[in-house]
Structure 1
């Protein structure tokens, strides 16, 4: 009964009584019908407005999709927009892999979603004895999940190396097809897939240079015999000396800003410097820069 009364009040067919405190009275038939018709008109107007807004949104979406739609293969190049498009193309390219896959994976620790998306594809290729070479950022050694995945790769026959500083993300399949991010700052936005021989050859050369400068995953990170500084520490000093902020240097090295500051504090202590400026001078005197 209470629910029915509440509904009648909501519809405007019952209104508070002026004679009985807390009581209700029925509105007149004319007023009730007029109120119901007005509510229906307002509801129809609201639906009409929502429909018009929906049509406009759909038109905008179609226009945006037309502008952002991946290019058809044009001179061996195609844009892949979004993670789903990239993943779909990776699945096709991995199935077609015959001999070799080269990859540069910057950014330090990889997300769990990225690792789980890569694992079945890598496993398929490794089971077919495809040679897989990957270069990770050195900071992955400090991330258990990413380091475990890199070890998993090597245990199945892949080759993994690390380097303190890496170029943009890169994948090359059988030295004929390459994927690079459209925006190096956010690889989730999309990728350029290219089979242009000149571009692919240049990217392969970039990979080989990066590979030669990197160290095997299982190698102990050593310090320079003369200066007593690791490659990662040397790169950090170079980045900061070039004017980079702690945050920017951390992004280049794939580590957090907190890690950058901790490493710099340790270097300053070893250099017996009271400021970063003094640390830079002493580092230069020791040949660290």
Structure 2
């Protein structure tokens, strides 16, 4: 029990025996503990070194056991002090490990990445990158209608890029077509040689410059938090692949979104897919970028066409008919 205090088991047995029988000699202690005399002597020397035995003033007694409240308390205090010192050493080692790790840990810069905090910083950096663009600018734009100030800032930069022969391809949400000013901007862009398409929902904000730099949101659900600028070839290639996949199914501005063989438009199909996940009308309207009234009107029309009396039944019937 006292080994954690540096007292061996034989020494503890002898100490306990001496506390019960202070006048026992070596032979008596050996008999009481069933230890050989040589081990008893070793234990007595150990107890003396630990200050658990002291010389006795009584005639005929060589040593006396120290009161455990005093002797063992001193050993306990020493053990606690040693534990504190060891813990301090552990914490020092932990700090050293952290420092060494930090020195050799790859940073965002090591992966060709930079953080841009806040929307203003992102816009400023994008304006700078657009001026440096040499061949191509790709973008996915999941937000709402273009703000007037954003259009004003982007127009001269985009015009200069197009005049330099830069290819600009942008994908926006179908709901952009419902905003007159955004639609006018899109017409201006396409008249200058830019290419713009729309899809019902855009997965994530994304800008790729010359297929060597990608701007990705720090938080896809809140682009206002800022962006991560990445030049790592693997990440940029993945971003380009995502863009091309979305671009391949998008509808060019100036063209009506084609209906499939079931007469279902991409927007209607996406509405069914979102509704099938259990999203409310409010969430669905926000994801599609349309009004709540539009969502309810479209859903009501789809239910009639699918011979459904509920949204759940509409989803089931749509799946059966191959609409989803």
Q: C-alpha displacement at 1:99, in angstroms?
A: 0.5
- State the shift of 1:247 in Å: 2.4
With over 3 angstroms needed to count, the CA separation of the structure-2 counterparts of 1:279 and 1:92, relative to structure 1, is same
Unaligned runs of 5+ in 1: 1-70
Runs of 4+ in 1 over 6 A off after TM superposition: none
Task: Note if 1:243 corresponds to 2:263.
Answer: no
Alignment partner of 2:240: what SS?
A: helix
Any conservation in 2 of the 1:107–1:252 contact (CA below 8 Å)? no
* Correspondence for 1:150: 186
Aligned-partner Cα distance in 2 for 1:282–1:103? 36
**In structure 2, the residue corresponding to 1:183 is in which secondary structure?**
coil
What do the CA deviations read for 1:62-81 (whole angstroms, capped 9, x no partner)?
xxxxxxxxx98442111101
TM-score normalised by the chain length of structure 2? 0.63
Query: Does the Cα contact within 8 Å between 1:76 and 1:196 map onto a contact in 2?
Result: yes
Q: What TM-score does the superposition give when structure 1 sets the normalisation length?
A: 0.71
Q: Tell me how far 1:236 sits from its aligned partner.
A: 0.7
Structure 2 partner of 1:256 = 291
Provide the residue aligned with 2:126 in structure 1. Answer: 90
Instruction: Give 1:105 shift.
Output: 0.8
Deviations 1:244-270 (A, max 9, x none): 222222233222333212211221233
Query: How large is the Cα RMSD of the aligned pairs?
Result: 1.8
Report which structure shows greater RCO (CA 8 Å, sep ≥6): 1
Q: How many Å apart are 1:182 and its aligned residue?
A: 0.9
SS of equivalent to 1:200: helix
Q: Distance in 2 between matches of 1:91 and 1:287?
A: 45
Q: Deviations over 1:158-183 (max 9, x none)?
A: 11111112210100000011111111
Which is higher, the Rg of structure 1 or of structure 2?
A: 2
Asked if 1:166 corresponds to 2:202, the answer is: yes
Pair 1:246–1:153, CA change in 2 (3 A): same
* 8 Å Cα contact 1:223-1:231 kept in structure 2: yes
184, 195, 200: which is aligned to 2:220? Answer: 184
2:143 aligned with 1:107: yes
> 2:233 aligned to 172, 197, 201, which one?
197
